[in-house]
Structure 1
Amino acid sequence: MKKGTSIALALSLTVGAVLPFSSTAHATNSQNVLAAKIKESGNEKNVTKKKGQAVPTFIHGKLSNKPHKDKEAVKQFLKDNKETYPFDVEKDLTLLDVTKDEIGSKHFDFVQSVQGIPVDGSALKVHTDEKGYVTAVNGDVFVEAGDYFKGKGKLKTNLSKKEAINNAWKSIDLTKDETLVDFEVGPKGEKQSGTNEEGKQVIYKKGDNFYNAYKVNLQFINPYPANWVVYVDAETGSVIDSYNAVTEGTGVGVLGDTKKLNTYYSSGTYYLYDTTKAMTGVIETRTAKNLSSLPGSYSVDPDDNFNATNQRADVDAHYYAGVVYDYYKNTFNRNSFDNKGATITSTVHYGRNYNNAFWNGSQMVYGDGDGTTFTSLSGSLDVVGHEITHAVTERTAGLEYQGQSGALNESISDTFAMFMDQKNFLIGEDVYTPKIAGDALRSLSNPTQYGQPENMSGYVNTTSDNGGVHTNSGIPNKAAYNTIQSIGYDAAQKIYYRALTVYLSPKSNFSAARAAMLASAADLYGTGSTQYNGVASAWTKVGVN
C-alpha cells in the first residue's frame, strides 16, 4: 500500500476409541443401515463411540441416498435410523438452530430432553452437503437418560429456582452480599453489583446416574474471581456436583508471543469467555470463520492452550479486550464501555482477506488482512483500544461520524490507544504492512508521514470518507501529541477523558474540542496552570484557536 493511502479503521479500525458398530442395549441387525452406507463408501472406520454411551458420538461418510434439505426431512432421517438413534424425535429432541456455511453445507443442531427438561451437555448435530445429502452425525446424546426415568412417572420438583440458588450459595460458604462490589455508574452516583446468579432446570449425568436438577451459575469477582457451576437436586435440595469454571489458559498471539488468558470451562471444552472482570457482562471472543455473519461461534479449545495458528487472532482479541477494560476501570473507574458493565464481544476471522477492523454499534469486528496490507488486525493493542474507545465515545459524547466531529471521533480513539500503549506514537504498526518493518497506519507525532494534515492550513475538504474523517483526524491527533509532550501522559489522559465524558457533544468541531480540553484542564488543574497552558499551546500549534 502506498503511504498516502488511508485504510479505514472505522468506528473502524474427549473422543473415545474408534470402534466398529457392535451390539449395544439398543442394537439390532437393522442398526447396520448407516454402517452399511459407510462401508460402501470405504469409510467404515469413521464411527466413533464413547465407553458407556449407546449412541455413537461421530459418524462420517455417505449417510443418505437422497437429499434432506430442511428440518422435517432431517427429522425423518433420524426416524428412519431409529435403531442407531432410538429417540422419539418429536418429544426427545428439540431443534435449536440451522446454519449454512460458505461451502453450502447445512448444520442442524438438536438438544435432547426428558419430559421437556434439557439434558445438560447433550447435543446432536446432523450435517448435510450442498445437495442435501447427510454426510455426518455427531454429538453426545444419552438414550440411558430416558431409560433411567422410565416408569417413574412425572419428574418432581420440590424446591423453587430461588431455593436452589440459595443452596448453591451455602455450598460455597459465601453469601451473595459478601461478593457485592459497588461501582459508580452514573452522574447521580447510581450503584450496581458485580455479582450475577442464575439457575435453570436440567437433567444432569454424574457417573452412571441421572438427576433432575437445577444448574446454578454464581459469578463474582470478590473475594476471588469465580464462575461457580453448582448442580442442586430438584427433589431433595442437596448439591450433586460443583466446580469453579473460571480458568486461566494460555495462547499464542498474532506476533508469536504467549499470553495468559481468562477462559471458561464447560462440558470438556474451554471457551474464550472471561467472567473475572468486575462487570455485569463478560468479555467474549467469537469467530466468524471467514464469513460475514455476526457474532459468529465461540472460540474454543480442548486443553486450554490456544496455540494453533488459526487461533492467534482470537487470542489477541480476547487478551487485548481485557487490557482495554482494565485501562478504563483502573484509570477512570469506568466499568466497560457503557460504564454499566456491558459485555465486550469481539469477532475475529471476519470475511476473507478483510483489511479492516470496526465497532458496529454493539461489538468489535476484526478482519484477518490480506497478508500484505495487514495481518490479523486484532494483533495490535492500539487497534483494539481504538475500536473499544469508539464504543466509549458513542456512549458519552456521541460525536457524529462525519466532518470535524467525525474526525474528532477518530482522533479520540487514536489518542486513547496511545494512552493505553505508550510504546510510541504510531497506530497499527504491529499489524500494518507486515512485510515492511517500521511501517504504520498513522502517526500522531508526524501525521504527514501517512498522508494526513497536521495543521488547519492543510485541512482537506472532501465528500468522501464522511468528509475525510480518517484524513483530517491528523490535526487533533497532532494536538494530542503536543499535549502529551507538554504535560505528560497522566495529566493528558485525565483532561481528555473529562472532555469526552463531560463537555464534548455530538456536533463538536475542533474549536469546541479545544474549548472542552481547556475547560477540563481548568477544572482539574486550574486556569493558567502548566497543564492549562500546555493544552492551549498544543491546539494553537495546529491552527485551532
Structure 2
Amino acid sequence: MKKRKMKKVATALTLSTTLFAAGGMASANESGNWSLSPEMGAELKSSISASNTPAFVKGNFSSEKIKSEKDVEKFFQANKGTFGINPKKELIFIEKETDELGMTHYTFQPAIQNIPIDQSQIILHVDENDNLVSINGEFHANSPSKVKQSKKLTKSQALNKAWKHIDVDRKQADRKIATPKGETSFLSEDQQLVVLEENGEYSLAYHVTMQFSEPYIANWNVWVNAENGEVLKAVNEVHDVASTGTGTGVLGDTKSLNTYFYNNTYYLFDVTKPMAGVIQTFDNNYRTFGLPGSYMTDSGNTFFSDRQKAGVDAHYYAGEVFDYFYETFGRESYDDRGADITSTVHYGSNYNNAGWNGNQMIYGDGDGFTFTALSGSKDVVAHELTHAVTDYEADLVYEFQPGALNESFSDVFGYFVDSENWLLGEDVYTPTIPGDALRSLSNPTLYDQPDHMNDFEVLPNTRAGDWGGVHINSGIPNKAAYHTINAIGKSKAENIYYRALTVYLTPNSQFTDARQALIQSAQDLYGSSEANSVASAWDSVGVF
C-alpha cells in the first residue's frame, strides 16, 4: 500500500471517448450517455460501470486545460451525469506526479462521507500541454451516499479485535533485536478508518495491518466493522513464489560482497547503495520463529563456509535487484524512498519456500529434492522484491485476477532481471532433475498453468484454492508478456511494464485492465506500433 498523506479535494468537459471496462468496450455520445458496444447487447447510462469493476476511459476530451486538482474537480462536476461522481463529497486527493514524458497524473481515492473506499483509486492522465487524455480506476459509481454503520470503536479497540482474531500474542510479535545501528523492532502496525466494498455492500471499517515475524511470518490485513467490532475480512498477504515454495541451491560461484565492519566483526550489511536505508542479511538458524534472526557475520570478511552460502546469495542478489530498479528506472529501493532491504536465510527445517511478508524477504533451504536453498536464484529474489514494489505502487489485491497479475508482474520482472531464459526458479527447483523449473513464461502449460482464457481456472478464495488461482492463472498474463517481449524487445517491454505498474494499474485491476494499461503505456512511451504489438500479445491469450 502506498504510504502517502491524504488531502481532501476533489475536478471537467464534454466527452467523445472510448471506455474499456471489465464487461467490454463502451463509447460515449455527445450527450455524455455511455452505451456498450452493440455485440454486448446492453446499455450503460449515466455511469462508468454497472458494477464497481475498474474501467479505462481514453479519447478526445474538450480543450479545457487540467493544471491542478481543482481543475479535476471542475471536470468531474461538469460531467457528473456521466461519471456518477460528486467530487466534493466522493473523492480524496492523493497526489500529483509528473513523469519523464512530461505527463502529469492525478491520483484520487473514491470516498463516502470523506471516508476512503479501500483498495480503490481513480487516476487522471494529462499530457504535457495540460490536455486530459485518459482516466482509469475503480469508479464506484453506484456507491451509496452514506454508510449504514456509525463509528463506535476506537482505533485501539479495532487493533485489539484484529490481534484477537488472528490469535497471536502481540507481545510475542514485538521482539526487538540489536543491529549495527542500534535496537529495532520488526513489528509494524497501522489502523485506518475506511469503507470496505465487498460484493456491492459498503461497510464502515477499520483496515488494520500487522506485519511481524514471530511466531510466524505475517502480513495481516484485517477489516473490523467500526460499529460492532465484527471482523469482516482477514487475509495474511505473505507473498510467496508458489504455494509449494521456490528457491535455488548455492551454485558454488565466488561473489564480491559489500559488508560492514563493526566491533571487530564483518556483517552482511551493505551501506554502499544510493539509498537512505541499507541491504542487510540475517540467519534464522533453521527456526520458524524469531525473525529476522541474527546477522550473518564473519571475523575475516571471507564468507566461505557452507552455512554462509545462502546468505551470500541472498545478500548479493538483493543488491543486484536494487541496482536493476535503480539503474533502469531510477527507483530507490522497493518503496522508492530508500527503505531497508532485509533478507533472512535458513528459515525453518527443509522449508520449500521463499517469500515477501510485507517487511522483509525469507528463504528456506529446501528439502534437497523439491528445492535447494532458495536464495541462490536471482529471478526468485527479483520476484520477491517486485512484490514489494507492487505493494507500494498498484497495490494489487492478492486474490483472483488482481492477485494473478501481482504474481505475473513478479515473474515478468524476474525475467527482466535474469533474462538468461524464460524459466523461473530453474536453478533451485528439483536439483536432482536438470532442465525443469517452477514456471515458464514461454510455455506456462509445461508447469500446469493455463496460457489462454479458455483454460482459466475458477478456484475458491482460500489457501487451498491458491487465493482464487493467483499462481495458477498468472500463466495467462505471463504468456502475454512473452509475446510482448518477443515482438518489441526486452528494453521497450520492461519500460512499458514498469510504467503500467507505477502509473496505470490500481488495486482491483483485472486482466483486461492490465491489457489496456500496458497498451496505454506503450503508446505513451513509443507510439502506435508498439501499442498494437502489446494489444496483439493479449489478444493471443484471449484477453480483450
Cα separation, 2, equivalents of 1:541 and 1:274: 44
The amino acid across from 1:312 in the alignment is K
The amino acid across from 1:337 in the alignment is Y
CA positional deviation for 1:186: 8.8
Which secondary structure state, in structure 1, belongs to the residue aligned with residue 287 of structure 2?
coil
The amino acid across from 1:297 in the alignment is S
Gaps of at least 5 residues in structure 2 are 1-94, 100-179, 183-248
CA positional deviation for 1:267: 1.6
The amino acid across from 2:534 in the alignment is V
Q: 2:310 — aligned with what?
A: 313
Cα separation, 1, equivalents of 2:297 and 2:98: 40
Which secondary structure state, in structure 2, belongs to the residue aligned with residue 490 of structure 1?
helix
Cα separation, 1, equivalents of 2:356 and 2:282: 15
Task: Kindly provide the CA deviation profile for residues 510-538 of structure 1, in whole angstroms up to 9, marking residues without a partner as x.
Answer: 00000000110111112x22x11110110
Q: 1:276 — aligned with what?
A: 272
Q: 1:454 — aligned with what?
A: 451
Q: 2:486 — aligned with what?
A: 485
The amino acid across from 1:416 in the alignment is F
Which secondary structure state, in structure 1, belongs to the residue aligned with residue 429 of structure 2?
coil
Cα separation, 2, equivalents of 1:534 and 1:358: 33
Cα separation, 2, equivalents of 1:445 and 1:266: 47
Structure-to-structure mapping, 1:335-374, within 5 angstroms: 335-374=332-371
What is the aligned counterpart of 2:409 among 396, 409, 412?
Answer: 412
Q: 1:187 — aligned with what?
A: 97
Pair 1:267-2:263 in alignment? yes
The amino acid across from 1:267 in the alignment is N
The amino acid across from 1:502 in the alignment is V
Runs of 4+ in 1 over 2 A off after TM superposition: 185-189
Cα separation, 2, equivalents of 1:186 and 1:328: 22
The amino acid across from 1:269 in the alignment is T
Cα separation, 1, equivalents of 2:455 and 2:433: 28
Structure-to-structure mapping, 1:5-24, within 5 angstroms: none
Q: 2:521 — aligned with what?
A: 520
Cα separation, 1, equivalents of 2:181 and 2:354: 37
Q: 1:504 — aligned with what?
A: 505
Closer, same or farther: CA 188–515 of 1 in aligned 2, 3 Å: closer
Closer, same or farther: CA 434–186 of 1 in aligned 2, 3 Å: farther
Q: 1:299 — aligned with what?
A: 296
Task: Kindly provide the CA deviation profile for residues 374-393 of structure 1, in whole angstroms up to 9, marking residues without a partner as x.
Answer: 00000000000000000000
Which secondary structure state, in structure 1, belongs to the residue aligned with residue 382 of structure 2?
helix
What is the aligned counterpart of 1:258 among 250, 254, 259?
Answer: 254
Cα separation, 1, equivalents of 2:490 and 2:273: 25
The amino acid across from 1:352 in the alignment is S
The amino acid across from 2:537 in the alignment is A
RMSD over equivalenced CA pairs, Å = 1.9
Structure with higher RCO (Cα < 8 A, 6+ apart)? 2
CA positional deviation for 1:188: 6.5
Q: 1:125 — aligned with what?
A: none
CA positional deviation for 1:268: 1.4
Task: Kindly provide the CA deviation profile for residues 140-193 of structure 1, in whole angstroms up to 9, marking residues without a partner as x.
Answer: xxxxxxxxxxxxxxxxxxxxxxxxxxxxxxxxxxxxxxxxxxxxx99379xxxx
Cα separation, 1, equivalents of 2:394 and 2:318: 22
Cα separation, 2, equivalents of 1:519 and 1:485: 19
The amino acid across from 2:533 in the alignment is G
Cα separation, 2, equivalents of 1:337 and 1:186: 20
The amino acid across from 1:348 in the alignment is V
Cα separation, 2, equivalents of 1:494 and 1:380: 23
Q: 1:540 — aligned with what?
A: 539
Cα separation, 2, equivalents of 1:186 and 1:325: 26
Closer, same or farther: CA 425–186 of 1 in aligned 2, 3 Å: farther
Identity %: 61
Structure-to-structure mapping, 1:389-408, within 5 angstroms: 389-408=386-405
TM-score (normalizing by structure 2):
0.54
Q: 2:19 — aligned with what?
A: none
CA positional deviation for 1:302: 1.1
Cα separation, 2, equivalents of 1:386 and 1:345: 15
Task: Kindly provide the CA deviation profile for residues 275-302 of structure 1, in whole angstroms up to 9, marking residues without a partner as x.
Answer: 0000000000001111122111100011
Cα separation, 1, equivalents of 2:97 and 2:385: 22
Cα separation, 2, equivalents of 1:277 and 1:448: 39
Which secondary structure state, in structure 2, belongs to the residue aligned with residue 514 of structure 1?
helix
Which secondary structure state, in structure 2, belongs to the residue aligned with residue 287 of structure 1?
strand
TM-score (normalizing by structure 1):
0.54
Cα separation, 2, equivalents of 1:498 and 1:533: 17
The amino acid across from 2:518 in the alignment is M
Closer, same or farther: CA 259–186 of 1 in aligned 2, 3 Å: farther
Cα separation, 2, equivalents of 1:483 and 1:307: 41
The amino acid across from 1:495 in the alignment is I
The amino acid across from 1:524 in the alignment is L
Q: 1:75 — aligned with what?
A: none
The alignment of Structure 1 onto Structure 2 pairs a total of residues equal to: 300
Task: Kindly provide the CA deviation profile for residues 402-430 of structure 1, in whole angstroms up to 9, marking residues without a partner as x.
Answer: 00000000000000010011100000000
Which secondary structure state, in structure 1, belongs to the residue aligned with residue 521 of structure 2?
helix
Pair 1:377-2:374 in alignment? yes
Which secondary structure state, in structure 2, belongs to the residue aligned with residue 288 of structure 1?
strand
CA positional deviation for 1:371: 0.4
Cα separation, 2, equivalents of 1:412 and 1:290: 30
Closer, same or farther: CA 266–309 of 1 in aligned 2, 3 Å: same
Closer, same or farther: CA 521–469 of 1 in aligned 2, 3 Å: same
The amino acid across from 1:516 in the alignment is A
The amino acid across from 1:458 in the alignment is D
Cα separation, 2, equivalents of 1:394 and 1:267: 36
Task: Kindly provide the CA deviation profile for residues 41-97 of structure 1, in whole angstroms up to 9, marking residues without a partner as x.
Answer: xxxxxxxxxxxxxxxxxxxxxxxxxxxxxxxxxxxxxxxxxxxxxxxxxxxxxxxxx
